[in-house]
Amino acid sequence: MKEVRIGLIGSPNSGKSTIFNKLTGAYQIVGNWPGKTVETVERAVESKGRHFLLIDFPGTQTLTPTSTDEEIAMEYMIENSPDVIIQVASAIDLERSIYLSLELIELGIPILVALNQFDEAIKQGFEIDVEKLSEILGVPVIPTVAIKGEGIDKLVEKAFELVHSKSKGKMITDEDIRPQINNVMSVIKGFLPDRYPSEWFALKLFEEDPWVARKIAELDAEKRLKGVLEEEKASIKKSTGMHPSLLIVNKRRSIAERIANEVRKTKPVSRSKFIETLDSLSTSSYGYPLLAVVMATVFVATLGLGLLLRDTISYLFLGLSGYFAFNIANPLLSAILSGAQLSLLVGLSFIIPVVFSFHFFFSLLDDSGYLPRAAFLIDKAMRRIGLNGKAFIPLLLGYGCNVPACVTCRILEGDKPRFVTALMITLIPCASRMIIIYGLIAIYIGMVTALAIYLFNLFVVLLIGMIVGRSVDLRCESTGLVMVLPPYRVPVIKNALRKTWSRAKDFVYLAMPIIIIGTVFLKMLEIAGIMGHLNALFNPLFVGIFGLPGYVLSFLLFGAIRKEFALVFLMTTLNGNPLSYLSPTQIIVFTLITLFYIPCVATTVTLIRELRLRKTLMIIGINLLIAIIVGFSASVILPLFS
Amino acid sequence: MNIALTHLDEGKVAVIKEMDLDNHIKKRLMALGLLPNSRLKVLRIAPLKGAILMDVGGYPLAISHDLAEKILVRELE
Ligand SMILES: Nc1nc2c(ncn2[C@@H]2O[C@H](COP(=O)(O)OP(=O)(O)OP(=O)(O)O)[C@@H](O)[C@H]2O)c(=O)[nH]1
Ligand SMILES: [Mg+2]
């Protein structure tokens, strides 16, 4: 028998991934802002003797997509339609949830509703008559509290009942325009492949859904449809006085509101004073200094904790390695062993403390619900560039890792905004570059300089956003911010730790082995005398432009693989003591170059996938140009101050 | 008299009268609850003509200033 496929669909931030994680034991990023999941993920599940495939979808506010992540959800839902859809709805946002229920019912796939975040609804004083809701919609409705796993078994049980009964909900949106829909449907049936729901296509054509319009265009059926569609649209307009697409949306929303009011009673409750104050503070004009303080705190706390842990870790390591002191005559073997030891030390003392503490602090922040509020505040500034406040979220994610940040650009509307945001992201110092700032600047130059570098970087990012935004005429394509804000939630340490691990584990599994191999490799090159040749070859160029010795090129080459390698190999090559080889100015210039010069391999691959080759090459070119200008200017200007 | 949403002060309640936006964005706003004749309450206006945060059907919704400018409302006392 074919395996049952169950899809988790719902508005952004309703708790789909929380349910997915609970059932699959996998880990999809969970957090408190809309737009975390931006691709569909399928996993096999075995729960209470039942086997099925569970699919986690990107959040969809409505089934008329406006951004790439919503389009991905639509495409997958129609082209690979699941046997059953579990709509993960938010009980605290009943109107919007019911709106989506109505749309899913129209689609004609059996659905059931998980009325999630039910605990919060109770806390907010909502009493929801679940049975009545189920009766009105004609589909099962089950209250759930995903974070505690409540109601999830029942959800699976009901989903399986639906697979067999195939019962669908009642379609109620279309009453007024039934004849027109039927007329269009009869034409559509002539060419629409069977796998598509023709009734839904007809409705969506009246709704002027761009996704359906594109499908029709792909089927080369625009011409056959045009006449009848125009005619029926005109007839609707004549009888109702409204544009058909607006009529449908208006109707659906009105029905959703009516149902919500019918099934929900609200009793007044006193809300947490602390959260309320925090909420109003973080969206008021005090929100700007607060944002600066929050960001600075994350960086200072990370770098500070890094400094603290570094001493402990390297102390421990040095103590331990005393037991394994090598005394080997073979120069090659001894080089390999000392290289391995040195790189392990550098990895443990530079990488681990920074990466883990940054992701931990950031996870707490992104679980709190602060991000969307910051996006609201920053919207005006982003509009000046031609983006909107939503772009703040991928930009901020860029400080963790550029790769998911670039993928998250899918939550933005429009190709140009996605391109400009992705470009800006590549300039943002991710955790890997933070390791460089920490390892070279915070340790050898000072914390103030480290923060100054962050500020300078931010200035460059905004400036480039502005310049490129202007030159691609961003404004004409970009729409304003439209975002639903989730409530503040108290972060749970356990969840933050899990997220930290999922975001930082690459540094352990992927980076550390390469670092050890790479160090040994460089040591061998050194022994073979190749480093000297490389140096001689590139010295003129690097000394001429940046006042840096030619051998830094090899660090930069490694840094293109993963940014932190630039620091690691600099450290292992210079025997952990850069100040005896490089001046403070040279250290700052080198750091600045590493911030800008090129997206790492993983980011480049992601960019090609998200934006295609041409735009990726443009981004790489702009990166290089900025690095050269900044590096050169710094090497000229900085000596004037010292 | 109808005024632009951006001219409301924080804390004011109003009824939506007209939305002078193209259908694409209008549909999204309507789906999220900004229907003609429905109510909203302005919670926050970010400084310097920034975005507007409002309560629509008991849930906060943020929209850019340039969108809010095109939404005409009638203030309720
Ligand atoms: N109080 C409460 N919080 C919940 C519940 N379910 C999920 N959450 C929280 O809601 C937020 C969003 O959860 P996710 O699982 O990431 O939501 P999602 O639907 O996958 O979100 P996107 O992928 O962004 O569309 C997180 O902060 C969760 O901890 C619940 O039943 N009760
Ligand atoms: Mg998700």
- Cβ distance of A481 and B64 shorter than 8 Å: yes
Which of A93, A249, A380 lies at the smallest CB-CB distance from B65? A380
- Cβ distance of A260 and B57 shorter than 8 Å: yes
Is A484:A96 a contact under the CB 8 Å cutoff?
yes
Let me know whether A230 and A297 are in one domain.
no
Q: pLDDT value at position A195? A: 87
Q: Which residue has the higher pLDDT, A460 or B49?
A: A460
Q: pLDDT value at position A329? A: 67
Let me know whether A462 and A584 are in one domain.
yes
Q: pLDDT value at position A224? A: 85
Which of B53, B59, B63 lies at the smallest CB-CB distance from A93? B59
Per CB distance under 8 Å, which residues of B are interface residues toward A?
23-33, 35-36, 38, 43-44, 46-51, 53, 57-67
> Does A534 have pLDDT greater than 90?
no
Domain ranges for chain B, please list them: 3-76
Contacts of A555-560 with C-beta under 8 Å, sequence gap 24+, read A555/A590, A556/A593, A556/A594, A556/A597, A558/A518, A559/A594, A559/A597, A559/A600, A560/A597, A560/A598, A560/A600, A560/A601
The mean pLDDT of A51-67, rounded to a whole number, is 96
Candidate from A122-136, A282-296, A304-318, B15-29 with smallest mean pLDDT: A304-318
Which of A137, A165, A193 is the C-terminal boundary of a domain? A165
Banded pLDDT at A327 (limits 50, 70, 90): low
Where is mean pLDDT largest: A201-215, A297-311, A562-576? Answer: A201-215
Let me know whether A525 and A592 are in one domain.
yes
Is A354:A435 a contact under the CB 8 Å cutoff?
yes
Provide the CA A76 distance to its chain's centre, in angstroms: 19
Banded pLDDT at A269 (limits 50, 70, 90): confident
Ligand 1 midpoint to CA A366 (Å):
12
Let me know whether A80 and A151 are in one domain.
yes
Q: pLDDT value at position A270? A: 81
Ligand 2 midpoint to CA A31 (Å):
8
Taking only the tens place, the pLDDT of each residue in B7-24 is 999 999 999 999 999 999
Let me know whether A112 and A31 are in one domain.
yes
> Does A642 have pLDDT greater than 80?
no
Banded pLDDT at A326 (limits 50, 70, 90): low
Residue of B nearest to A247 (CA): B27
Asked if the structure places residue A24 within a domain, the reply is yes
The mean pLDDT of B48-70, rounded to a whole number, is 94
Taking only the tens place, the pLDDT of each residue in A591-641 is 999 999 999 999 999 999 999 999 999 999 999 999 999 999 999 999 988
> Does A264 have pLDDT greater than 80?
yes
Q: What is the 3-state secondary structure (H, E, C) of A22-43?
A: HHHCCCCCCCCCCCCCCCCEEE
Q: pLDDT value at position A410? A: 96
Ligand 1 atom at shortest distance from the alpha carbon of A492: 29
Asked if the structure places residue A274 within a domain, the reply is no
Altogether, the residues listed in chain B come to a count of 77
Listed in sequence order, the residues at least 6 apart from A451 whose beta carbon sits closer than 8 Å to its beta carbon are A296, A299, A300
Asked if the structure places residue A275 within a domain, the reply is no
Shortest CA distance to A564 belongs to which of A436, A402, A450, A441? A436
> Does A351 have pLDDT greater than 70?
yes
> Does A240 have pLDDT greater than 60?
yes
Q: What is the 3-state secondary structure (H, E, C) of chain B?
A: CCEEHHHCCCCCEEEEEEECCCHHHHHHHHHCCCCCCCEEEEEEECCCCCCEEEEECCEEEEECHHHHCCEEEEEEC
Which of A165, A192, A214 is the C-terminal boundary of a domain? A165
Let me know whether A251 and A325 are in one domain.
no
- Token readout for A109 is 């796939």
Q: pLDDT value at position A475? A: 75
Segments forming the whole domain that contains residue A24: 5-165
CB atoms within 10 A of CB A140: 22
Let me know whether A234 and A139 are in one domain.
no
Handedness of CA A96, A100, A101, A102 (dihedral sign): positive
Asked if the structure places residue A273 within a domain, the reply is no
- Token readout for A591 is 């750091």
Domain count, chain A: 3
The mean pLDDT of A435-459, rounded to a whole number, is 94
Cα A566 to Cα A415: distance, rounded to the nearest angstrom: 33
Q: Which ligand is nearest to the CA of A498?
A: 1
Asked if the structure places residue A137 within a domain, the reply is yes
Is A445:A583 a contact under the CB 8 Å cutoff?
no
Q: pLDDT value at position A320? A: 67
- Cβ distance of B53 and A64 shorter than 8 Å: no
Let me know whether A439 and A294 are in one domain.
yes
Candidate from A112-116, A149-153, A252-256, A566-570 with smallest mean pLDDT: A566-570
Let me know whether A561 and A535 are in one domain.
yes
Asked if the structure places residue A605 within a domain, the reply is yes
Shortest CA distance to B21 belongs to which of B64, B56, B52? B64
Percent of chain A whose pLDDT exceeds 70: 98
Provide the CA A183 distance to its chain's centre, in angstroms: 43
| pTM, to two decimals | 0.93
Q: Which residue has the higher pLDDT, A618 or A346?
A: A618
Cα A338 to Cα A345: distance, rounded to the nearest angstrom: 10
Residue type, A178: R
Q: Which residue has the higher pLDDT, A303 or A141?
A: A141
Let me know whether A149 and A185 are in one domain.
no
Is A92:A126 a contact under the CB 8 Å cutoff?
yes
CATH number, domain containing residue A218: 1.10.287.1770
Chain A nearest-CA distance from B46, in A, is: 6
CA-proximal residue: ligand 1, atom 16 (nearest): A30
Altogether, the residues listed in chain A come to a count of 642
Cα within 13 Å of Cα(B60), Cβ side: 19
Taking only the tens place, the pLDDT of each residue in A215-233 is 999 988 888 888 899 999 9
Asked if the structure places residue A170 within a domain, the reply is no
Q: pLDDT value at position B15? A: 97
- Phi and psi at A129, nearest 5°, equal -85, 90
| Mean pLDDT score of chain A | 91
Percent of chain A whose pLDDT exceeds 90: 69
Cα B16 to Cα A52: distance, rounded to the nearest angstrom: 46
Which of B26, B38, B59 lies at the smallest CB-CB distance from A484? B59
The mean pLDDT of A303-323, rounded to a whole number, is 75
Is A133:A101 a contact under the CB 8 Å cutoff?
no
> Which residue(s) pair with A8 in the sheet?
A56, A86
Taking only the tens place, the pLDDT of each residue in A571-605 is 888 877 899 999 999 999 999 999 999 999 999 99
Taking only the tens place, the pLDDT of each residue in A477-524 is 778 999 999 999 999 999 999 999 999 998 888 888 888 888 888 878
Asked if the structure places residue A53 within a domain, the reply is yes
Let me know whether A332 and A204 are in one domain.
no
Let me know whether A557 and A426 are in one domain.
yes
B6-17: b or e for each residue (b if 16 or more CB lie within 10 Å)?
bebeeebebebe
Q: pLDDT value at position A605? A: 95
Q: pLDDT value at position A328? A: 65
DSSP A451-471: HHHHHHHHHHHHHHHHHHHHH
Q: Provide the H-helix boundaries in A87-142.
A: 94-107, 118-123, 130-137
CA-proximal residue: ligand 1, atom 27 (nearest): A32
The mean pLDDT of A266-290, rounded to a whole number, is 89
- Token readout for A164 is 């067999």
Taking only the tens place, the pLDDT of each residue in A391-407 is 999 999 999 999 999 99
Q: pLDDT value at position A345? A: 81
> Ligand 1 pocket by C-beta < 6 Å: which residues?
A 10, 12-18, 30-32, 34-37, 59, 116-117, 119-120, 145-147, 367, 489
Q: pLDDT value at position A377? A: 95
Cα A288 to Cα A308: distance, rounded to the nearest angstrom: 30
A68 touches chain B (CB under 8 A): no
CATH number, domain containing residue A106: 3.40.50.300
Q: pLDDT value at position A33? A: 94
Name the CATH superfamily housing domain B3-76.
Answer: Ferrous iron transport protein A (FeoA) (2.30.30.90)
